[in-house]
Chain A
Amino acid sequence: MIPPHGAKLVERVLGDAEREDILARSAGLPRLRLNAASANDVENIATGVFSPLQGFMGRVDFHHVLNEMRLSNDLPWTIPLVLDVDKGEAAGLKTGFDVILTDASGDPLAVLRLEEKFEFDKEEMARKVFGTTDSGHRGAAKVLSMRDVLLSGKVDLIRKAPSPFPRFKLTPREARVLFREKGWRTVVGFEAASAPHLGHEYIQKSALAFADGVFIAPLVGRNKSGGYKDEVLLAAYEQLIRTYYPKERVVMAVLHLDDLGAGPREAVHKAIVFKNFGCTHALIGRDSAGDGAYYHPFAAQDIFEEFPDLGIVPLFYGAVSYCKKCRSVVNDRICPHPSADQAACDVTKIRDMFLRRETPPAELVRPEVAKVILNYRNPFHE
């Protein structure tokens, strides 16, 4: 089994006695209410999704990640993991003491062992992580609107947040045990951000031709305007797997990750997440994890050149289409025919067809999958 990033899977979920102890003390501790993204971060840290991080980054790691795309111990890490608060909140918190982190309704989620408070340059962070300070970039806009002070420190999870999709929620530890139970030695991770078309199926099955299993991970909780609703994404993939995949060679589990559109840095970040789940390979598409035209089409693949020590093998794929001459799904490496003979597996065009309540051609989307999507009155977020 592939080792987790940093060699040790982080597990910071409190046991019963520790949980009772902290809850008994919680009335006397300061509280911070987390937004949904930070609440996800906390659970991801505590369950090892972000191993080796044990908490929110301190100043040294933060700057290392910005400047070198590595933690201060030289381990590859590309996206700062931080918790922002306003100056007033920060002033009321003492380093060296515990802070209760709550969900939006005020219920305790975790305890932050506060180590450091520091101010940061938002423009610098946006420029280095996203390559832009343009507020038209969703990640840059988010960073620019962050509060002024970052808190760092280890977190311990008091309770896991209820998931709308409990059947598809696995921790890295659970995924690792599962892969071992299945006897998989090679596992390919695929991040599913949109409902599957035949291009996705082609890529996943091409990987399955040499790997033992594929780990399909729909990104949920993003509520991105115009994007597929989580339940639609899952239902579409369930239908595809049920109808067209060898069930024993596929595992699907959701990822609760913030989708910042950080392009190349985000592609590496997600590869690390897949590694922590036990994947040996990660499928990285052209234009992966980007936001509009902010990055070179191959930037998300080229960046892996800088990380010979990443510990997971990226598998790159390009544009996929259906070729009428070949009468099969192809990519640009294997088909000699001109684009006039091809129908591109284009996520945006397919989504537009669904928006018009049209069934996409069977060369692009499996009819069974299209039917599932069209069964929803509105499959997309407003």
Chain B
Amino acid sequence: MDKEFTTISIPTSLYKKIEEAIRGTDVTSVSSYIAKVVREALSKQEAEPEVFSKEDEEKVKERLKALGYID
């Protein structure tokens, strides 16, 4: 099964700027540069904080106490 790709459009001037920026680096193409930057940006979007119910959290704390991890 091959990798799947799709096409997006960016201004030609930006494309050229990226081409220039990655010249001589380990980045092999404008596409892979953009994928990398977009992935990084998306990963920084804040995730919702985890919520454990109070009951669950108390159970976990009891177990942690029993194991000696907390006093």
Q: Do A and B come from one complex?
A: yes
Which residues of A come within 8 Å of B, CB atoms? 1, 3-4, 7-9, 63, 67-68, 74, 166-167, 170, 173-174, 176-178, 181-182, 251, 305-311
Interface Cβ pair total, 8 Å cutoff = 56
B64 adjacent to A178 (CB under 8 Å): yes
Min CB distance A209 to B, Å, is 23
Tell me which residues from 50 to 71 in chain B have a Cβ below 8 Å from any Cβ of chain A.
50, 52, 56-57, 60-61, 63-64, 67-70
The answer to whether B50 and A181 touch across the interface, beta carbons within 8 angstroms, is: no
B40 within 8 Å of A (CB atoms):
yes
Cross-chain contact A173 with B3 (CB below 8 angstroms): no
Alpha-carbon distance A4/B51, docked complex (angstroms): 12
Contact B48 A7 (CB under 8 A): yes
- Interface size, chain B (Cβ < 8 Å): 25
B residues bordering A, Cβ < 8 Å?
Answer: 1-3, 26, 36-37, 39-40, 42-43, 47-50, 52, 56-57, 60-61, 63-64, 67-70
**B40 and A177: CB pair below 8 A?**
no
Q: Return 22 A-B CB contacts under 8 Å, by A number.
A: A1-B49, A3-B47, A3-B49, A3-B50, A4-B50, A7-B47, A9-B50, A67-B1, A67-B3, A74-B39, A166-B67, A167-B67, A173-B60, A174-B63, A176-B50, A177-B57, A177-B64, A306-B36, A308-B36, A308-B37, A309-B40, A310-B43
Do B50 and A1 touch across chains, with their CB atoms under 8 A apart? yes
CB contacts (< 8 Å) of A309 on chain B: these are: 39-40, 42-43
Contact assessment for A177 and B61 in the assembled complex, using a CB-CB cutoff below 8 Å: yes
Question: Do residues A308 and B43 form an inter-chain contact, with CB atoms below 8 A?
Answer: yes
Q: Which residue of A lies closest to B48 (CB)?
A: A7
Among residues of B, the one whose C-beta sits closest to the C-beta of A167 is B67
Given contacts A3-B47, A67-B2, A173-B52, contact A305 B39 (CB under 8 A): no
Q: A158 to B62, alpha carbons, bound, how many Å?
A: 22
Q: Report whether A308 and B50 are in contact in the complex, using a CB–CB cutoff of 8 Å.
A: no
Across the interface, B60 reaches (CB within 8 A) one of A63, A68, A166, A177, namely A177
Query: Complex: how many Å from CA A9 to CA B36?
Result: 25
Q: A residues within 8 A CB of B67? A: 166-167, 170
Contacts A174-B64, A178-B64, A181-B70 known; A311 to B43 CB distance under 8 Å?
Answer: yes
Contact A177 B52 (CB under 8 A): yes
**When chains A and B are docked, how far (Å) is the Cα of A311 from the Cα of B39?**
11
User: Distance in Å from the Cβ of B14 to the closest Cβ of chain A?
Assistant: 19
Output the nearest chain A residue to B60 by Cβ-Cβ distance: A177
* Residues of chain B with a CB closer than 8 A to A3's CB: 47-50
B50 in contact with A178 (CB, 8 Å): no
| Chain B residues within an 8 Å CB radius of A166 | 67
Question: Measured between alpha carbons, how far is A170 from B50 in the docked complex, in Å?
Answer: 18
- Is there an interface contact between A181 and B61, defined as CB atoms closer than 8 Å? yes
Q: Which chain B residues lie closer than 8 Å to A251 at the CB level? A: 69
Given A4-B50, A176-B50, A308-B39: A167 and B61 interface contact (C-beta under 8 Å)? no
Closest to A173 in B: B60
Nearest B residue (CB) for A66? B1
Of A8, A68, A181, A308, the residue contacting B40 (CB under 8 A) is: A308
- Kindly state the separation between the CA atoms of A269 and B64 in the bound complex, as whole angstroms: 26
A176-B50, A309-B39, A309-B40 known, 15 other contacts, Cβ within 8 Å: A3-B47, A3-B50, A8-B50, A9-B50, A67-B2, A167-B67, A167-B68, A170-B67, A173-B60, A174-B64, A177-B52, A178-B64, A181-B64, A306-B36, A308-B36
